[in-house]
Amino acid sequence: MIKTRITEMLGIDYPIIAGGMYLLSTAELAAAVSEAGGLGIIASTNFTTAAALREEIRRARGMTRKPLGVNINLFLREAAPWPNDEFIDVILEEGVEAVETSGVRTPEEYLPKLKEGNVKVIHKVTSVKHALSAQRIGVDAVGVVGVENGGAVGMDNVTTMVLVPAVVDALNIPVLAGGGLADARGFLAALALGAEGVIVGTRFMATRECPAHQSFKDWMVRARETDTVLVERSIRTTHRCLRNEMSGKILEMEARGASLEELLPYIGGETKKQLFLGGDLDGGVALCGQSVGLVHDIPSVKELMDNMVAGAIDSQKRLAAMGLG
C-alpha cells in the first residue's frame, strides 16, 4: 500500500485514479482499476437515463466490492443532454464512494447532497484559479491536468510539471496530478511535485479491459508523443487528440473561422463512437494525451498498475542510492 490523504479518503491501496472517459470508462474498466487497488471511474456521459447508469454501477459491483467512482460532466445546464440531478440520486442510492466532476461548471449545487451521503468529490480543473474556486466551495480534492492531457486542457497551455506544484502551493486539500502520466516514472514524479495521487486516462485506454476497438489500441502503440494536436481552441473548449483526417479537417475549419454550429457534426459524440468503438480511425476526434508516446504495449489493468507501483518503488530506491532519499 501507498499511504496519502487520497488513499485514506477513498479507502484504496494506491493513489491511482482512472479518469472518466466518454465511451471508454465502463463497468469493466472501472472494476478492473478498483480491483487492482486504485479507483475506477464510470463515465455517466455514456448513459442517457438514470436507470442505465444504475445498471452499470451494479454490473461493476458484480466485478469488485472495492470503492468505485462516477464521473459527472458539468456542462452548461442549458446544453447538457444528461440528467445529472437524477444521476446524483442514483450515485447516492447505490452507495458509490466517490464522484469526479469536470466541465465548465463547479459541483457546488450538488455538494450538500453528496456530503450528506458521505460521497467524496474530486473536481477536475486546468488552472490554479479554478482549483482555488473548487476548494472554496468545499470539494474534498482537486484533480489538476496540464496541457499534455488528452481531452479537455483549458486555455492556458501550462504543463503538468509547472501546474501541479503551483496548485499544491495554493491549496490545503489533496491534489491529484494528471496529464502526461503513463508509467512508474510519471507516477513518482507527480508525488515528488506534491500531488497525493494521479489521474490517468490515456494509458488506461490501451489496456485489455478498455472497450476501445483493437485498431485504436494498436494505433496508440504506434503513435509518438508528437502525434497529437489541439483542436476546438477557437471556440474556447480546447481538446487534445491524435492527429488524423478528422482533426486536420477541424483545424482547417477553425482557421477559416467556423462557428460552433459548423463544428458540431465533426466534434460530437457520434463521430467518437465510430472511432473508439467502431475502429474508423479517421472517422472522429480521437481524444488522447501526449503520453501516448509512452504506450508500447496493451497489458491488463492489473499488470499496468502493478508495474507502475513496483517501478515507482524501484525508482525511489535509485534516487535514495544517489543521496536523494
Average confidence (pLDDT) over 150-170: 96
What one-letter code names the amino acid at 12?
I
What one-letter code names the amino acid at 238?
T
What is the pLDDT confidence band of residue 269, given thresholds at 50, 70 and 90? confident
Q: Which of 158, 131, 128 is nearest to 146 (CA)?
A: 158
Give residue-wise pLDDT tens across range 133-144: 999 999 999 999
Q: Which three cell numbers stand for residue 20?
A: 472518466
> For the chain, what are the domain ranges?
5-211+298-321, 214-290
Please check the confidence at residue 208 and state whether its pLDDT lies above 90: yes
Q: Which of 273, 238, 210 is nearest to 19 (CA)?
A: 210
Its pTM stands at: 0.95
pLDDT computed for residue 104 by the predictor = 85
Give residue-wise pLDDT tens across range 43-71: 999 999 999 999 999 999 999 999 999 99
Q: Which three cell numbers stand for residue 267?
A: 466534434
Please check the confidence at residue 268 and state whether its pLDDT lies above 70: yes
Average confidence (pLDDT) over 78-90: 85
Give residue-wise pLDDT tens across range 109-130: 999 999 999 999 999 999 999 9
Share of the chain above pLDDT 90, in %: 94
What b-and-e string marks burial along 244-253, b requiring 16 or more CB atoms within 10 Å of the CB? bebbeebbeb
**Is the separation of the CB atoms in 280 and 274 below 8 Å?**
yes
**Is the separation of the CB atoms in 113 and 96 below 8 Å?**
no
Domain at 5-211+298-321, CATH class: alpha beta
